Structure 1
Amino acid sequence: MFTTSEFSRVSGLSIEMLRLLNEQQVLPPAAPNEDEELAAYDDAQLPIARAIYHLGKIEIPLERIKTLLDQNEGKVDIGRLLTQQERALPAKRIKAIATHEAAIEALCALSDDDISERKVDRLLVAGLRMRGRYTDCGKAFGKIGWQYGRQLCGPAMMLHYDKEYKEHDADFEACFPIRPAASRKGIEVHELEGGRLVSLTHCGPYETLTGSYVRLLRYVRTRHPGYLLPTRESFLKGPGWLFRGDPEKYRTELQILVA
């Protein structure tokens, strides 16, 4: 089961949208609670939430989404749902979405054998904290690399200061591990807390990170009383400065410091 914030994170639906979906009885929590954050969603609701996410992206009205979901009880076929719409995406794009959603479903079903726990020390990083879209981090990585160059000593990282998903005003920080250096030009050199870290290395495109986050959050919730923000993503292998590379070979370590 996931809290409202956690379900927002893995579904791509904002807290406000989840509230509206609950009020309209389109996607109510599996375990309601007067405290919105303590309301719980289960794994079986994720495919429905992901379908709503993609239908919302092509601006299908909520009433129409509700009708479509009522007509497609049981297993949600995201490819077919997207193809049926007047504002349908190009066939190639629909195929890519369907492929990614199938991969997410497969990842959710994997065991926890590759999730590990370890003690980590404090880590010195050079970071640029910002509000905006997650995709804005690329420019920040470039700025940090330009300012510090060879002083950087580890892969690019992104720190998430929100528990929930936010599309336009996410609070996050692009950073790199760094040797001792001074802050400059809006880039802060500071330490990340040490402690007990739970991690999982995701292999594949960023569009399928949801599946690994489901597993990691599920693991943490069943074994630890809580976790600390920010959560971390360490980009062990990703697109290069000039070439995108093969997204299937990207490796991203998802890290959560537990209480």
Structure 2
Amino acid sequence: MNNILITGAASGIGAATARLFHSRGWQVGLLDINHAALASLSAELGGVWHAEMDVADAGAVQEALKDFTSLHNGQLRLLFNCAGILRFGCFENIELAEHARILQINVLGLLQMTHAAFAYLKVTPDAQVINMGSASGLYGTPHMASYSASKFAVRGLTEALDLEWRQHGIRVGDLMPPFVRTAMVSSQTFLPPALRRLGVNLSAEQIALAVWQQAQSAKVHRPISALFKLMYGSAQFSPAWLTRWIMGWLSRP
């Protein structure tokens, strides 16, 4: 029986992914720091396994993985590192502690989950890790500098581990969407010029479908949306100055 463990599962992309995989017969595990929303989603899905957890808490990460995999003969078919936080704004106007928290959740939390999951992934046929990357991991994005930096880190880790863990039969890939219509985006008080120009054209359900596609046919990077696929493809061949010019144009006031 296929199983998936999802961080950041209580809302947005994580919740949409849980619903999709559950509807298609997978055993689903839910992790999130928001206990009330997590319990509500678990009940909606018929009482699936869930645990309140902060991905930045190394001890809690290890305990959650142990508990979930104990229900599945110590195996983990798919880890979806979806937990993440975001803050739009001018770099100097955001408190340093908030920049640090973005990196702590988006990078250190993902590292801790993936490191702790290795023992369970390596004993599972066709095991995978899917990381929540971003279009902002392709080129530094103004007004979301620390978030963009965190997604650069996710991209680098993904590329390295996909090569390193192939000897263990584990594939590692990431999803790279532009802006997605979730509460994490709609709750922001600052509107980046790039968002105003590009718009928010993707839903959480569309990203969940991309997770499903990745689970069936792994890629190192999976760019999402027609526009970003075009930008991603052209960036592989165009000079760096052109990509930088485009980002500068998108982000101008």
Same fold (TM over 0.5): no
Query: Normalising by the residue count of structure 1, what TM-score does the alignment of the two structures yield?
Result: 0.22
The structure richer in helix per residue is: 2
Whose Rg is larger?
Answer: 1
TM-score normalised over the length of structure 2 = 0.22
